């Protein structure tokens, strides 16, 4: 086999890039590492990259911090240094010891905020077991439409058109037997998001929708019939009540006449 050469080709796969604090990743890619400037009078980071540092601290804390201690000071020094080094990967090294302290304080602040937010979620439950139990929430297509058009900054939907469309869809959901998919197709022309990894075929979906619509209409008819019967019974009851009242009045009149005659 001598004389035969084998060439092994290497296939380079595109790796998944960063998913958080993308502004830092993009800026560091195009302009190099970012800089940290500290105002010595207020011991705070300042300058154009200050907000990037705050965001990076928050992302690193949420990704790799250990939450099994109450205070930042209870974390082992090695882990605190790991957090610091992870944050500083995107920034120019700082020489001043005071600057390092300021960065550590910012990481500490984000650590405490993160623990507080998690604790608030924990307090919503009555027991520790309930808090630890993972429960998925099924979102409808209308919910996905509302979620995708909600502005955190405004605290509401992004514009009046989105608000009007959402109100129409919610009204259709409350007053018709249409599915949320059908409503979204009617109002926005498509189905927002992908709720399930794999959906049923169109034929199966149509059959299920038709069957459910028939059941809903049948239940509505039964409900209407029950309501009519209840109204009729209530009317009879009111009539009996009126008759009882009239009978009582006649009895009182008769009793009064009998008393007059007995005198």
Residues 67 and 105 in one domain: yes
Residues 170 and 235 in one domain: no
Strands (DSSP E) contained in the chain are 37-39, 44-46, 150-151, 156-157
CA 105-106-110 angle, 5° bins = 115
Cβ atoms of 202 and 210 closer than 8 Å: no
Range 6-13 average pLDDT:
43
Sequence-separated (6 or more) residues with CB below 8 Å from residue 199? 205
Q: Residue 152: give the domain boundaries.
A: 143-198
- The string of pLDDT tens digits covering residues 100-159 is 888 999 999 999 999 999 888 888 888 888 877 766 667 788 888 888 888 877 888 889
Residues 185 and 205 in one domain: no
Give the 3-state secondary structure of residue 193: coil
Residues 204 and 194 in one domain: no
Domain membership of residue 182 (yes or no) is yes
Confidence band, pLDDT 50/70/90 cuts, at residue 24: low
The rounded Cα 116 to chain-centroid distance in angstroms is 19
Q: CA-to-CA distance for 87 and 98, rounded, in angstroms? A: 16
Sequence-separated (6 or more) residues with CB below 8 Å from residue 181? 141, 191
Domain membership of residue 258 (yes or no) is no
Residues 193 and 219 in one domain: no
245's tokens: 């009242």
């Amino acid at each position: 086999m001598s004389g035969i050469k084998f060439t092994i080709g290497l296939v380079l796969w595109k790796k998944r890039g960063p998913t958080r604090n993308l502004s830092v990743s993009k800026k560091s890619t195009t302009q190099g590492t970012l800089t940290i400037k500290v105002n010595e009078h207020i011991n705070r980071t300042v300058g154009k990259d200050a907000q990037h540092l705050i965001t990076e601290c928050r992302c690193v804390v949420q990704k790799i911090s250990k939450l099994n201690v109450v205070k930042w000071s209870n974390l082992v020094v090695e882990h605190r240094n790991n957090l610091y080094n992870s944050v500083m990967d995107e920034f120019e090294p700082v020489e001043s010891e005071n600057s390092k302290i300021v960065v550590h304080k910012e990481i500490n602040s984000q650590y405490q905020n993160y623990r507080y937010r998690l604790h608030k979620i924990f307090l919503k439950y009555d027991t520790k077991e309930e808090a630890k139990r993972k429960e998925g929430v099924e979102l409808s297509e209308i919910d996905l439409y509302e979620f995708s058009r909600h502005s955190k900054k405004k605290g509401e939907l992004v514009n009046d058109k989105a608000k009007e469309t959402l109100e129409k869809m919610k009204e259709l959901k409350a007053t018709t037997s249409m599915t949320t998919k059908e409503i979204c197709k009617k109002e926005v022309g498509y189905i927002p998001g992908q709720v399930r990894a794999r959906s049923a075929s169109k034929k199966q979906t149509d059959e299920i929708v038709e069957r459910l619509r028939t059941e809903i209409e049948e239940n509505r008819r039964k409900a209407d019939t029950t309501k009519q019967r209840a109204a009729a019974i209530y009317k009879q009851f009111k009539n009996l009540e009126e008759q009882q009242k009239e009978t009582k009045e006649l009895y009182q009149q008769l009793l009064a006449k009998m008393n007059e005659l007995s005198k």
